Amino acid sequence: MKETTVRLPTATPQGLHEFVAASVLARYARSGAQSADLGAGPGAMSQRLGELGCAVVAVDRDPDVYKGALPFVTLDFNEPGFAAQLGIAKFELVVAIEVIEHVESPIGFLRNIGQLLAPAGVAVITTPNVDSLPARVKFLLAGKIRTMDEQSDATHISPIFSDLLRRQLLPRAGLKMKEHFVFPVNGFQLTRKPIARALQMAAMLFPGDALVGDHHIFVLEVA
C-alpha cells in the first residue's frame, strides 16, 4: 500500500504552498542543494523542499512553533546582519513564504537574503499582493491597504509594492528580479466569488502583471 505523506500545518492561504512547490521551486531545486526556509513556522515548506531533494535548514524566531524533523535554527530577521549566523554565500536556494511583510526593514531583509545566496543561487519570496485590483479598489474606497488593515494580521507592517520593489528595494539590496508569478494565477480567492469574477474581468481591461492574484511570488538573484 502506498504511504501518504503527512503534511505539516501551515498558516498560509490554501494552495499557496502547493503552487510554489510545484510551479516554482521544482524548477530550481536539485538533489543536495543547500536550502534555507526563512520563517519556516511549523515546517511545511521545509518538508516540501526536503521532498525535492534539497538539504534544508528551517529558520524561524519561534522554536516552539516548529514541528518538523529537519535541522532548525532560531533567528530574528529584524536583526541586522542575520545572514552571518546562517552562512554567507552558502545557499543555492532561499525561500521566504509570507515573511517580508512582517519585518521592520524589507531592504535589510532582502540584503541579507542576497548575502545568503551562493553564486547562481536564487531566492523565492512570497508576500500579499497589494497591487491587485481588489487592493486598489479597497484603497480607493476606504483608504486602507488590503491585508494590512486592522482586520488583518497585526504583524503585517511592511506592504511590498512590485514597482517599488523592482526600482528601489532590489537595487539597494544588490538583487534583481529573475521571475515573477502571482497566486492564484488568474483570479482571487480572498474575495467573495461574485465580486472576484467581476474584478477578474475588469482586470483584463488594464495593463500590468499584478492586477490579479492575492499573492506575489518573486524569484530573485544577485545583481
List phi, psi (to 5°) of 70. Answer: -80, 160
Site of grid cell 488583518: 152
pLDDT digits (tens, 9 = 90+) for 3-34: 557 888 887 878 999 999 999 999 999 999 99
Considering just the CA atoms, what is the radius of gyration of the chain in Å? 17
Report all structural domains of the chain as residue ranges with CATH numbers, in order of start.
16-222 (3.40.50.150)
Question: For residue 88, what is the enclosing H or E element?
Answer: none
Give the pLDDT of residue 4: 57
Q: Return d(Cα 24, Cα 142) in angstroms, integer.
A: 34
Mean pLDDT over each residue of the chain, to the nearest integer: 92
Percent of the chain with pLDDT over 90: 76
Give the pLDDT of residue 2: 45
The whole-model pTM stands at: 0.93
Asked if 84 and 55 touch (Cβ cutoff 8 Å), the reply is no
Give the pLDDT of residue 1: 42
With 0-12 CB in 10 A as exposed, 13-18 as middle and 19+ as buried, what is 85? middle
Give the pLDDT of residue 10: 84
pLDDT surpasses 50 at 99: yes
Give the pLDDT of residue 33: 97
Least confident range from 50-59, 61-70, 157-166, 191-200: namely 191-200
**14 is written with which cell numbers?**
490554501
Q: Return d(Cα 190, Cα 177) in angstroms, integer.
A: 26
pLDDT digits (tens, 9 = 90+) for 110-128: 999 999 999 999 999 999 9
pLDDT digits (tens, 9 = 90+) for 79-94: 999 999 999 999 999 9
**117 is written with which cell numbers?**
545566496
Give the pLDDT of residue 206: 74
Q: Hey, what's the torsion of the CAs at 68, 36, 50, 67, to 10 degrees?
A: 10
pLDDT digits (tens, 9 = 90+) for 196-213: 676 677 777 777 778 888
H helices present in 13-125, as ranges: 16-19, 26-28, 44-51, 106-116
pLDDT digits (tens, 9 = 90+) for 43-63: 999 999 999 999 999 999 999
